[in-house]
Chain A
Amino acid sequence: EHPEKLIDISIAILFAITMLSVRNSMSMRAANFKSIFSMKSMSSDAIEIALTRAFETHQIPFEFPSKAVTNKEELLNYFKIMYTMRRMEITCDTEYKARAIRGFCHLYDGQEAVAMGTEAAFDEKDSWITSYRCHCIALIRGGTCESVFAELFGFKEGMSKGKGGSMHLYSKKHNFFGGQGIVGAQVPFGAGLAFANKYNTKPGDPMPVSIAMYGDGAANQGQIWESANMASLWKLPMIFCIENNQYGMGTSKERSSSNNLYYTMGNHIPGFRMDGMNVLMVREGMRKAKEWCSSGNGPIYIEVDTYRYHGHSMSDPGTTYRNRDEIASMRTARDPIEFVKNLLVQNDLVSSQELKGIEKDIRKEVQDALKKAKAGEPLSVEHIGTDIFTEGVSYIRMPDRTKSFGSIM
């Protein structure tokens, strides 16, 4: 009836889509995702999302919010980052099977909302340490798909120049301390980071927090209680975060833990449990925890209820101790990325078509990163002896001692 109007609308839509894709590709080029979060202020089109699952609490003296305030830009960013994480981990699976990646490879797909929600709540002064299941956290804290892939390939372009591998990704500049291979050992280390944060803060000022993430498999380690005791005594700004993905390697939590309410394991220390598949709930929970711990109230225990789609590592099919129905139903009912997509679509923020377009772009970005990473090469053998001491070493003995580097005298 009004053809000119139709044409106007079409042009407007085309224009909007073009602008959207330009913006998308621009934001994806950010080397790390810090710039995406530099905008903390909420624009006028804020929406409220009810948190449908309650926070389960243990000795918590404060209230949790029942809803999260967000907007299209934020949700889109969460989606893009989490989808990038997902594609990165799936790519690692393929590359491991193709034998481009050796040794251990512990994948995080399914758990993306935990990393994303935490990063959304913290700033870069907050210290972060985790276990060997560290690729996605590394990606947010100083890494890129390219530098993570390159590290897994053992190339010098990798985050640890190929000297660390899958379990040893770090970025001191971004307050990311790995990437630690010994189950549970990251927790006292994390309490040490909290100690430094407190030591370096003027009394009365808010302290940057430290979060140590560990699994249900690690949760019974004695050194965790040792650290919690000291964190409580000394009121360290420390978050003990159990990423409960229900299984420690092949052992379910029911078989490993006489108390599997992990958030209560701090005895008198406050703790809570939340849905680790809901990025908004994770963010809100982490925000409250940061508020609590940075003010000198001492440590807190956080249990995030999450799930890993892959087995413990690439050598574990993940189906001998759990059935495929369980894994499939997680994907259908609780996938963290689907959750964000649904929020975007159901609130009319973005169409499914647009989301498909973004996914396509991200898949391409990850493939491009993979291609670039594959073009790398390992450090030459002379670098075997670097980074042993900060100032270097004058002699590195080799298997054939006549081929040793430097001089023993």
Chain B
Amino acid sequence: MNAMIARIAPKALSQNAKNRTIIRGMATVNMAVREAINRGIDEEMERDERVFVMGEEVAQYQGAYKVTKGLYQKYGERRVFDTPITEMGFTGIATGAAAKDLRPVMEFMTFNFSMQAIDQVVNSAAKQLYMSAGDINIPVVFRGPNGAASGVAAQHSQCFAAWYSSVPGLKVVSPYSSEDAKGLIKSAIRDPNPVVVLENEMLYGTMFPMSDEAQSSDFLVPIGKAKIERVGSDVTIVTFSKMVGLSLEAAEILAKEGISCEVINLRTLRPLDYGAVFNSVIKTSRLVTVEEGWPQNGIGADISANVIETVFDYLDAPIERVTTADVPMPYALSLEKAVLPTVEDIVASVKRTTFRGK
């Protein structure tokens, strides 16, 4: 069968990282987010010899969360290698390698560990182009899981979206679906600027449909453009990453009560697509922001300020923000559940903006 397809439609056949032949161009498939990221990295490594993968356990262990599974077997040690547990050192190394036009895809096992290396990310990578007046660009990708997982407690649950997206010179993306994940990692790798990719551990195993187009090796999701996941008319919900899923669930519940929610998946946190938010607010007149980070100085705070500055006259209600509780993450399950935003929290916030119910 494969031989026949190879003769008739050679481009329809391809090898995935597990060396299984799959037939493309036939249908949408369901794909887990971790596999989508894996494919994205694999395709970019095939396409550009300068792309390499580094991080703790990314090679022989197949990745702490299996995102880089199979890449070491396929590409070997020159292009996929393990680092010691020395974030500050290897983040600087990734930055220097990128300064000489290589394309490192560097993994932080979780972004909590990026705090050990944040000076290299911000002062060495993000600011380099500016300080050198355009002479030296740093085409590095810093990727890894961000935010809360499950039961991993205070030091392993922080969301870094607000911190990194405040830095001029950095691009910051945060995928939700498999399509987001694949398209964004590919765009990030091709981008000549430093890109922080905030993934989410809880989403890695979630399956999403991948269209024909999304499966192709040319598929890119542009950095800097939000996606309207659900069109609506009564209220705008702006969010990213895992909270997109919760927001869509909330929208379903609200729809049954006659409230039509527009859900915007930001995809990129920097440069943030304020235009998409403004246009939506102009349409709906109400705004709820949802994020997994802490409330003070968060993404929602920035979006709120910008909306008030630019499209205040269109608002019919105060803006609502849904965020994680203002505490370090506790361990006990019931406490963790109470700290993280829930679908109910989003529903309640939306209702406050529509002045319906308490």
Over the window 219-263 of chain B, the binary record of Cβ atoms lying under 8 Å from chain A Cβ atoms (1 yes, 0 no) is 000000000000000000000000000000000000000000000
B88 contacts which of A163, A170, A222 (Cβ < 8 Å)?
A222
CA distance A178 to B124 in the complex (A): 11
Measured CB to CB, the nearest residue on chain B to A386 is B134
Would you call B134 and A387 a contact (CB within 8 A)? yes
B93 within 8 Å of A (CB atoms): yes
A223-B101 contact, Cβ under 8 Å, with A163-B131, A185-B119, A189-B124: no
A170-B306 contact, Cβ under 8 Å, with A230-B86, A389-B129: no
Would you call B120 and A408 a contact (CB within 8 A)? no
Would you call A163 and B130 a contact (CB within 8 A)? yes
B99 within 8 Å of A (CB atoms): yes
For chain B residues 81-119, which have a beta carbon within 8 Å of chain A? 81, 83-84, 86, 88-102, 119
Would you call B78 and A164 a contact (CB within 8 A)? no
Would you call B102 and A199 a contact (CB within 8 A)? yes
B192 within 8 Å of A (CB atoms): yes
For chain A residues 205-236, which have a beta carbon within 8 Å of chain B? 210, 222-223, 225-227, 229-230, 233-234
Count of chain A residues near B, Cβ 8 A:
53
Residues of chain A within 8 A (CB-CB) of B93 are: 188-189, 191-192, 195, 227, 230
B175: min CB distance to chain A, Å: 20
CA distance A191 to B124 in the complex (A): 13
Residues of chain B within 8 A (CB-CB) of A177 are: 96, 99, 136
Measured CB to CB, the nearest residue on chain B to A193 is B96
Residues of chain B within 8 A (CB-CB) of A369 are: none
CA distance A189 to B96 in the complex (A): 4
CA distance A351 to B96 in the complex (A): 46
CA distance A259 to B306 in the complex (A): 53
A226 contacts which of B89, B274, B275, B279 (Cβ < 8 Å)?
B89
Residues of chain B within 8 A (CB-CB) of A196 are: 96-97, 99-102
B231: min CB distance to chain A, Å: 19
For chain A residues 159-196, which have a beta carbon within 8 Å of chain B? 160-164, 168, 170-172, 177-182, 185, 187-196
CA distance A393 to B129 in the complex (A): 13
Measured CB to CB, the nearest residue on chain A to B52 is A199
Q: Is the interface of B mostly helix, strand, loop or mixed?
A: helix
Residues of chain B within 8 A (CB-CB) of A388 are: 129-130, 168-169
Measured CB to CB, the nearest residue on chain B to A188 is B92
Would you call B96 and A188 a contact (CB within 8 A)? yes
A226-B137 contact, Cβ under 8 Å, with A160-B131, A168-B131: no
CA distance A127 to B96 in the complex (A): 10
B132 within 8 Å of A (CB atoms): yes
Residues of chain A within 8 A (CB-CB) of B90 are: 188, 226, 230
- Of A127, A179, A226, A227, chain B has the most CB atoms within 10 Å of the CB of A226
A353 within 8 Å of B (CB atoms): no
19 contacts between A and B (CB under 8 A): A161-B134, A162-B133, A163-B130, A170-B131, A177-B96, A177-B136, A182-B123, A188-B89, A188-B92, A188-B120, A189-B93, A192-B96, A192-B99, A199-B78, A223-B89, A229-B86, A234-B81, A390-B134, A409-B279
Chain A residues within 8 Å of B, Cβ to Cβ: 127, 129, 160-164, 168, 170-172, 177-182, 185, 187-197, 199-200, 210, 222-223, 225-227, 229-230, 233-234, 386-391, 393-395, 401, 408-409
Chain B residues within 8 Å of A, Cβ to Cβ: 52, 78, 81, 83-84, 86, 88-102, 119-120, 123-124, 129-137, 168-169, 171, 192-193, 271, 274-275, 278-279, 306, 309-310
